[in-house]
Amino acid sequence: MTTVRLKIHGMDCAEEVAVLRAEFSRLEGIRELGFDVLNRKLTVEFDENRLSLDDVKSTIDRTGMRHEPWSETAAIPVAGQSQWSRLAATAASGLLLAAGFALNTGQAGFYGGLTGGGDSSTAVKALYVLAAICGAWFVVPKAIRSVQRLRPDMNLLMTFAVLGAFIIGEFLEAGTVAFLFAVSLALESWTVNRARRAIAALMSLTPETARLVGNDGSDAIVGVEKVPVGSTLVVLPGEKIPLDGAVSKGETTVNQAPITGESLPVTKSPGNQVFAGTINQDGAIELVTSKAFEDTTLSRIIRMVGDAQSKRSPSEQWVEKFAYYYTPAVMALAIAVSVIPPLLVGSWSHWFYQGLVFLVIGCPCALVISTPVSIVAALTAAARRGVLVKGGEFMETPARIKAVAVDKTGTLTEGQPEVRSIVALSGHTEAEVLAIAAAVELRSEHPLARAVVRAAELAGIRPQPASDFQATKGKGATAIVGDKSIWLGSHRLLEERGQETPEMHQQLETTERDGSSVIVVGKEEHVCGLIALADRIRPQAAHAVSALRSVGVQHVVMLTGDNKGTGEAIGRQAGVDEVRAELLPEDKVRAVGELVERFGTVAMVGDGVNDAPAMARATIGIAMGAIGTDAALETADIALMGDDLTALAWLIHHSRRTVSIIKQNIVVSLAVKAIFVVLALVGHSSLWAAILSDMGASILVTANGLRLLNGKHWVDRGN
């Protein structure tokens, strides 16, 4: 498979996306299409054995749109030459229409001018014709291409309406329809640019240059895209951090709100990770870069928000399908209105005019624009809040969440367990037990393993090298240390091996009830000791669970592979409804499946890696604390960039508000259409009134959708 990315000039709204999608649907070998309207980016994945790049380009050429190679460093287009040209043509149309109306009013009086009573004047007709030409300047070429594709669209409907008005001598109507439609398109362009500006503001978080430290210790200002991985940068107080990396010198506090939505600055010292786009507040620091410009967390967020436009929500799919059948149906009805009544009652001119009104009604501008605008605004507001939603299809789902399953480690707890106590058995000392365990755990990335290794380092213990390391998910691990086979793992593993004594069982039960996780360390012949570890619950965990209930979540369950005692202790502190402990990965999948059968729409919140199977089984997978975690960004449907679980309650509220606004927009759009269908059928409508109402509806639904850019309409009732 080959993937190509192109910048498409002229791809400004859902209409052009539909055109491109229709053209590419005729080709064999297309595997996937991605449309990023905000950036005018088209991504095409195709079978190079069946198609070539030239085939892709020629398909785009047939639509009349222009293309060029895509550049990741190119700025988001906010207001290009085509937008200004469209605005100029619209303004010229309006001025010519006003001039014609003024001249006509002078000749026939105000009422005569309003009704076209002075249309006999050649000068007035000329002004109205010029107004129509300017208003339809960007419409007619698209109408011609829609005829060539045998796919009628709103441009064709408007062109027919204008030409029909000229045919029956309604010059004022023709000019007015062309002007008002041009205004409607200009408003749509402005809407898309408003969303583009919001994303451009996100992109502008990353500075264009970085202060690079050379081998001789001197500083040089270079473009961020030219900084190699592993370079040393200096960041002064008040400056934005240009690239992801780790602090190597200095201490400071960093405002991470642009990425995570956190309100409080985070202290950073040598060894701590920092991220592009965040703001250095207090002290000068040096950092060693870990990622190139195009791979930084912020760059990935920007790309994902852009790519999200191609993943249509259920509402967008419904609107597109409705418009696909609606437009041809209205055209057929317009022909019927123009022909059938005159055959029965006469008055061809009157009913032909009403048929033209139907053509205007057939333009689904407000309906088509309402949902994409709302989704783009909602996605952008979520990104600002530190919530990365992978597409419109996932923007609506949280509104229906009835149950939430959360992993324990790193979600309800801080994910930084510490060794609390060591119990030495079978003649071993505490130091020996810790050394044996650390030798095995050096090969593991599990949070408990890292805690054991840290404890050994603090105690000055240097573990022996281990070989033949084998991990058993959810149970433990084995390895050869020296010439001995060592095993370590959970209480369950100890029971399975048959090496547990009643005294040992009692001690394990007591330790686990206190909220500690226990690692049992043993050899083939005996148990060497027990290591108790504890992970602190997040300060906001109980509040986050309460906030979920405040937004209508019926059931919150904690899923953990940890022992039952520890799980229940953490569950009580967090206030969850149910605790399921000692779960293997497949057990978590089964538990989530049971929740889906019981509640319908279920979210699974985890770290995006170990919980991937359970996330996939849930209706929607949510990664917690995904900042800087590539795997989490890729795995989940939604990523909470910060460590604040209350962001999930905000997301549910935001999703419900999004769905509500989308429904409002659809109802308003269809209601306006229904009213004018009835008026046209009884012969009491006009072209300019129909287009004016449609334009008004477009303005209304656009403004309503853009309200979602403000994601602060949520009162946290979790307290």
If 0-12 CB within 10 Å is exposed, 13-18 middle and 19+ buried, where does residue 664 land? middle
Burial 434-457 (b: 16+ CB within 10 A, else e): bbbbbbbbbbbebbbbbbbbbbbe
Distance between CA 307 and CA 392 in Å, rounded?
10
- Cα 409 to Cα 142, 372, 390, 448, 519: the distances in Å are 56, 37, 24, 10, 16
Q: Are 633 and 623 in contact (CB under 8 A)?
A: yes
User: Angle, nearest 10°, between helix axes 646-681 and 541-550?
Assistant: 20
Distance between CA 418 and CA 517 in Å, rounded?
10
Tokens of 346: 């006469």
Spatial CA neighbour of 183 closest among 260, 92, 100, 102? 92
Distance between CA 475 and CA 520 in Å, rounded?
11
Spell out where 526-617 has E strands.
Answer: 527-534, 555-559, 578-580, 602-606
Q: Which of 36, 407, 643, 644 is catalytic?
A: 407
The number of beta carbons lying within 10 Å of the beta carbon of residue 31 is: 12
Residue 269 backbone phi and psi in degrees, to 5: -140, 175
Q: Tokens 């059968």 appear where?
A: 597
Based on the residue annotation, tell me whether 407 is a catalytic residue of this protein.
yes
Q: Please measure the distance between the N-terminal and C-terminal CA atoms of the chain and give it in whole angstroms.
A: 52
SS (H, E, C) 563-589: CHHHHHHHHHHHCCCEEECCCCHHHHH
Distance between CA 553 and CA 53 in Å, rounded?
49
Distance between CA 128 and CA 117 in Å, rounded?
13
Distance between CA 277 and CA 261 in Å, rounded?
12
Q: Count of residues for the chain?
A: 719
Strand order in the sheet with 466-472: 418-424, 527-534, 517-523, 484-489, 476-481, 466-472
Where in the sequence numbering do the catalytic residues fall? 407
